[in-house]
Amino acid sequence: MKHIVTTALLIFLAPAALCAGSLRCTLPPGVAEAHLLSGGTPAMIEHFRAGYESGLAAMSADLRIDELDALVKKAQAVLEKRNQAYAGTLASIRKKHLSALSVTLEAIEASISPSSSALGDVTFFYTARNTTDRIITDITYTPRVGGKALPTTTSLVLEFIHPETLISGVGPGETMTNRGHDPERLSFFISELTGEEINALKTDATEQFGIEIIDMHFADQKGYKGQVEVRDFLSAFSRQLKPLANTIDQAEADVKARESAHAKALAAFTAGKERLQNHLKASLAELKRNSMRYSVRPDKKNRFVFDDIPAGTYYLYAPDGRGGAVFEKVAVSGDGRREVAAGMGKDPFVP
């Protein structure tokens, strides 16, 4: 096979021996030497590159690169869907239980003195009614005035500790109040409220002030604070969430396995591609050597002049050594000197 290709190459690259002519070329700066290559050179370059591309395609198919990539994407889509299902279920549980606790505020008083302090205070009594099926130990809340969140100094937590027994937790169907005991108190930054909001709190705090429950905690049984295990939503509803969490674990394992298989295939493909590139590079280098017919260096006026060249079709080749080259079809005849001004492009012999 090698002899057949070599023979075809020699026949294909051989120029026609007709009358002589000359060629004067003006080339871009940075070119140290120009060559005339056999007219069939581009076809051979294309032949070698086609073999390279065909080898890449065959190797990709053998290693199932596209198939494995599709499997990775499919597994990732399944994982994303299961994560969304988990998040949706958790959000539904949160919404249901946050809305099932009613906290009524009573005897609200606001203490605001902008001229003497940067902080204002609000005190209130509450009555909490638990219509969930869980024991609630505390809530995290955001205080609001006229619908706007009050800029408080800390995150606010309301603990449900019976004011007389000091037992923590309000159970399903139960009500807890701090009426007749110490009120709840919070502080906020006065400077971040408008004059209208300050006046609203001063004149009608009962109507303007309210709270938004944003989180809560649970316990399996009532008890003194510090003696009962407090659970967040993830822990308290683990039974409901565990089946979904298991499907996520399975999907994550599947993604990992698919990605590993794809990575191994890509590594093999990269190694094979390097071998094909080296082969292509060697073939192109040999082709360049075999296809060169004439070479010249620039004269004092930086022109490249080819004299006494057999008439025929050639390719003018002038590399700049940086991956660029002049590569242009030229025709030489015996009718006088031909003038050529050629531009720089990509070197066709660089893989």
Q: For the segment 78-109, what is each residue's pLDDT rounded down to a tens digit?
A: 999 999 999 999 999 999 999 999 999 999 98
**Count of structural domains, the chain:** 1
Which DSSP letter does residue 21 get? E
| Mean of pLDDT over the chain | 91
Helix (H) or strand (E) holding 139: strand 135-145
112 has a pLDDT exceeding 90? no
Query: Per-residue pLDDT tens for 185-206?
Result: 999 888 888 888 888 788 888 8
Q: Is residue 141 part of a domain?
A: yes
Q: Is residue 341 part of a domain?
A: no
Q: Is residue 90 part of a domain?
A: no
Q: Is residue 191 part of a domain?
A: yes
Q: Is residue 75 part of a domain?
A: no
Distance of CA 55 to the CA centre of its chain: 31
Q: Provide the whole-model pTM.
A: 0.72
Q: Is residue 134 part of a domain?
A: yes
Q: How far apart are CA 54 and CA 280, in angstroms?
A: 12
Domain containing 214: what range? 100-236
Q: Is residue 342 part of a domain?
A: no
What token pair was written down for 73? 């994407």
Q: How far apart are CA 121 and CA 183, in angstroms?
A: 12
Q: Give the CA distances from residue 291 to residues 234, 274, 281, 345, in Å, rounded to whole numbers and listed in that order.
A: 74, 25, 15, 19
Q: Tell me what the mean pLDDT of segment 25-35 comes to.
A: 91
Instruction: Using the structure block, give the residue that is written with the tokens 């096979």.
Output: 1
Q: Is residue 199 part of a domain?
A: yes
